[in-house]
Chains A and B, each alone.
Chain A
Amino acid sequence: MTTRTDAGAPHRARRLRPGRAGSAIALGAVLLLLAGGLGWRLTRGVEEFGAGTGLGPATSVQARLAADAGVPVAAGRLPGTPAVPPLRLEIPAIKVTAPVDAVGLDQATGEVDLPRDVDTVGWYRYGPDLGSTAGSVTIAGHVDGAAQGKGAFFRLREVPAGARVVVFGSDGAPRSFTVVSREVFAKTAMPMDRLFARDGRLRLTLITCGGPFDRKTRHYRDNVVLTAVPIGVFQGK
């Protein structure tokens, strides 16, 4: 008798009451749904638009000269055209105003040598400047920095089509651009020749990092790229 009673009691105790089982199912389902939704939001990536627009051929003075029949003759002197470097960048859509430094290359890696300060963005000084009439004025900025937190271009991936970007040159004049494309490229598959082109339509190319972050190498997998084209016509050199 006693053995049967003893055996029955633990058996009953192991069993969840019907209400608890239902609650567990509901809670588990909610947690999983939440995980699914958050997972989608976290990994959905940056929505791209307008890929490849804003490029096109430039109608430059050089192209017109080439169309002429005559042979161009130039003085045997080095061209003395001073560049118009950008000094300040404004993107009202994401409330960004950032100083712009002229940057070159990291000699060790051959990569663009961005400013140390993540709130300052870098203009690739070997490429076209604000006085150029063709090619890509390319400005790269940090999405974040290990020691400094969010960078000037943290929200670059949120800038919508048609947003205005204003760049102030060393001559003090503002140039307005309108965003026509947002693209994401794996760093191993960047169309670098296009992003740093010195020919084709004059445009502004803004680059930052994005995509999954590798905590071991401390690198992002992708680059987020915005292309913006000039609003109106401003004086080229």
Chain B
Amino acid sequence: MYCKLVGAVAGAVAAAATVLGPATPALAAQTSQVFVVHGIPGQAVDVYVNGDKVLSDFQPATVAGPLSLAAGSYDIVLTRPGDPISSPLLEVNDAMVPADQNLSLVAHLSVGGSPSLTPFVNDTSVVAAGKARLIVRHTAAAPAVDVRAGGQPVFRGLTNPNEVKADIAAGTVSADVVLAGTDTVVIGPADLNLAEGTATIVYAIGSAQDRTLAIITQVLTGLHSAPGGVPAGSAGLADQSLPAWWYAMAGAGALVLLGGVVAATRRFRPASPR
């Protein structure tokens, strides 16, 4: 069923997002960058993609990647560390990876507390100079929540497994998570240093019932843009155009020269008949 979700999420993102490579550009089109996020408390896992182990003893609250995966369908299996692939903790067959996207594949608890795997397409479009992108994803066994910054709700009614996002001024915000419509804090407050030109993704993970709610974060860099200009002078003291006195001098020179030439020419003119 989650494979359907992958397709749905991919289809929902109509705009072609820039594929974010770590340091090398994507070698071929059609390849997506895939991060794997571990949001299930208390259980390290091995991760298999199409039968190949890509992560060993992958710890909770960590982020791996990116993996470069060609567009297509993948079988993804999570096992207890060292267990054979035949006895999985969580298995998703035919998960669709779209082309040219940046994805986060999140292992987390569903609202009911069962292990799930949800793909999110990361918005890696360029962020305006001075701004940072904040993305909050509800991937915890908990009801709807509001996300507050500095005590004020900025995102309301977020439910598992969905996300909200906004581009805001870069800097540190004190954020907490409350049960939707209440002041009951379930996570935080935590200081989030939102670096300019990055996307900071905050995942709410764990279980409200088990009192294991927490946040983990993932940062995507390289989304910055340059400032509009550098205004660095207003007096004209280093001006390199011609000042008024130059024109006066050149004009005077031309007039005096002309006068001299005219006078000299007249001198050699034959006397006019009387």
Contacts and interface: CB of A to CB of B under 8 A. Distances in A.
Contacts of A219: 231, 233-234
Nearest to A187: B229
B227 interface: yes
Interface in B183-219: 192-193, 195-197, 200, 203, 216-219
Contacts of B59: 73
Interface string A61-99: 011011000011111111110000000000000000000
9 contacts: A27-B253, A36-B250, A66-B23, A73-B63, A73-B64, A142-B233, A145-B235, A196-B227, A199-B222
Interface in A18-43: 18, 20-32, 34-36, 38-39, 42-43
Contact of B232 (A62, A66, A199, A208): A208
Given A35-B249, A154-B238, A63 B65 contact: no
Contacts of A157: 238
A71 B235 contact: no
Interface string A141-176: 111111011110110010000000000000000000
Interface of A: 4, 15-16, 18, 20-32, 34-36, 38-39, 42-45, 60, 62-63, 65-66, 71-80, 104-105, 107, 109-112, 114, 124, 126, 140-146, 148-151, 153-154, 157, 187, 190, 192-193, 195-196, 198-199, 207-213, 215, 218-220, 223
Contact of B240 (A72, A140, A210): A210
A21 B264 contact: yes
Nearest to B216: A76
Interface of B: 22-24, 36-38, 54-55, 58-59, 61-67, 128-130, 170, 192-193, 195-197, 200, 203, 216-219, 221-222, 224-243, 246, 249-250, 252-261, 263-264, 266-267, 274
Given A4-B274, A76-B216, A105-B227, A144 B254 contact: no
Given A78-B217, A190-B229, 7 more contacts: A28-B256, A39-B246, A71-B65, A77-B217, A112-B230, A145-B233, A213-B239
Contacts of A187: 229-230
B254 A28 contact: yes
A157 B218 CA distance: 43
Contacts of A109: 228-229, 231
Contacts of B62: 73-76
Contacts of B226: 192-193, 195-196
Nearest to A23: B260
Nearest to B193: A78
Contact of B257 (A25, A111, A141, A212): A25
B241 A151 contact: no
A20 B128 CA distance: 69
Given A78-B200, A187-B229, A210 B249 contact: no
Nearest to B36: A71
A75 B130 CA distance: 26
Given A66-B23, A213-B241, A72 B266 contact: no
Contact of B263 (A24, A26, A39, A105): A24
Given A66-B24, A79-B219, A154-B238, A209 B267 contact: no
A149 B65 contact: no
Contacts of B261: 21, 25
Contact of A149 (B170, B221, B231, B237): B237
Which 9 pairs between the two chains have the least Cβ-Cβ distance? A28-B257, A31-B253, A24-B260, A76-B216, A209-B233, A25-B260, A192-B226, A213-B236, A212-B241
Given A21-B260, A76-B37, A78-B217, A105 B253 contact: no
Nearest to A65: B22
A215 B236 contact: yes
A169 B263 CA distance: 70
Contacts of A42: 240-243, 246
B114 to A, nearest CB: 21
Contacts of B36: 71
A39 B233 contact: no
Residue among B170, B240, B256 with the most chain A CB within 10 A? B240
Given A76-B216, A78-B219, A220-B233, A110 B228 contact: yes
